[in-house]
Amino acid sequence: MKVSVIGAGAMGGAIVEGLLKSDFAKNSDITVADPSQKVIDHFAEAGVSVTTDNSIAAESADIVNVVVKPWLVEKVLRDIKNSLNYKKQVLVVVAAGVASANIKEWLAKDGEEMIPFFLVIPNIAIALLSSMTFIVPANAKPENIALIKEMYGSMGEVLVVDEQHLAAGTTLASCGIAYAMRYVRAASEGGVEIGFKADDAKNIVLQTIKGAVELLQATGEHPEAAIDKVTTPGGVTIRGLNEMEHAGFTSAVIRGLKAGLSSK
């Protein structure tokens, strides 16, 4: 299976890194297109085909991933339109806020059926095969859906959603990874204030979060049920939780998520 990634910035580069670690495609079957010589030199060292010409990347793959800033999507798609084989290829567009209706307009060819395409939003943990990725089949057959699920599923968890829920997914998982990192920062700073060295505090917080995630995944419990197991009456845990709630912890998280959603 040949895969191309057009645009290897923060997200596109993370997708390529994930592909290199996954077993979905051979390194030699991956093509990266990016205007930065430094970027393509980096991936060339891994045995990936590289180019600064988007059209070359577009015509050389079974799956073409366009991973550029939202305001660049129209230009890139119009530029590669004549290089795409609508009958043999599958297109993936990774860009927040770009509507499938616009993509259909930009890619329309007289007398030719639209290329199967998807709107996809991963997060940067895809580089470590740990993304939460949302997939919207915009013009696709079941076999196309299975293929894209397999590809992105090789780099983390995937969820097929309708287009209406893509913005919510972006806020919860793509923006959400930054929100989680902000908690890590806050807890690490708190760890320093209560007596640990900065690096030790950060490592303690990271391992604690990792343990919480693995417990919830293994048991399938609701977080509150798991919390109840470690909050003894009159204990330090419940006092700490209540102080966070008095400061608006849950409300702040929900408001942050809704603020991210309202801007899309």
| Integer Cα distance of 147 and 129 in angstroms | 17
Structure tokens at 115: 């290329």
Which pLDDT score is estimated for 111? Answer: 84
Question: Which domains are delineated in the chain?
Answer: 3-161 (3.40.50.720), 176-262 (1.10.3730.10)
Give the sheet arrangement for strand 30-33, strand by strand.
Answer: 49-51, 30-33, 3-6, 63-66, 90-93, 117-121, 131-139, 156-160
The predicted model scores a pTM of 0.91
Residues 183-195: pLDDT tens digits? 999 999 999 999 9
Which pLDDT score is estimated for 44? Answer: 97
Give residue 146's Cα distance to chain centre. Answer: 18
Query: Residue 114 gets which letter from DSSP?
Result: P
| Integer Cα distance of 228 and 238 in angstroms | 9
Low-confidence stretches of the chain (pLDDT beneath 50): none
Residues 87-127: pLDDT tens digits? 999 999 999 999 999 999 999 998 889 999 999 999 999 99
Classify residue 261 as exposed, middle or buried by CB count within 10 Å of its CB (0-12, 13-18, 19+).
middle
Which pLDDT score is estimated for 262? Answer: 64
* DSSP-H helix ranges across the chain: 10-21, 37-44, 54-59, 73-80, 100-107, 142-153, 166-169, 176-193, 198-219, 223-229, 236-246, 249-262
Residue 13: name the closest of 83, 54, 65, 77 by CA.
65
